[in-house]
Structure 1
Amino acid sequence: MDFVCQHCGALKFAGETPGLCCLSASIILKHFSVQSPLLVTFKMNFSCALFFVFACLSVFAMASAAPWNPFKELERAGQRVRDAVISAAPAVATVGQAAAIARGG
Structure 2
Amino acid sequence: MLHKLMITLLASLLAMPAWAACREAQVPYLPNPDMADMGEMLEAQAAVKNYIQRQQLFLDCRRDSLRHNRAVDRMHEIAKEFNKITRRFKAKQQSEDMFTELALISY
Question: TM above 0.5, one fold?
Answer: no
TM-score, normalisation: structure 2: 0.30
TM-score, normalisation: structure 1: 0.30
Structure with higher Rg: it is 1
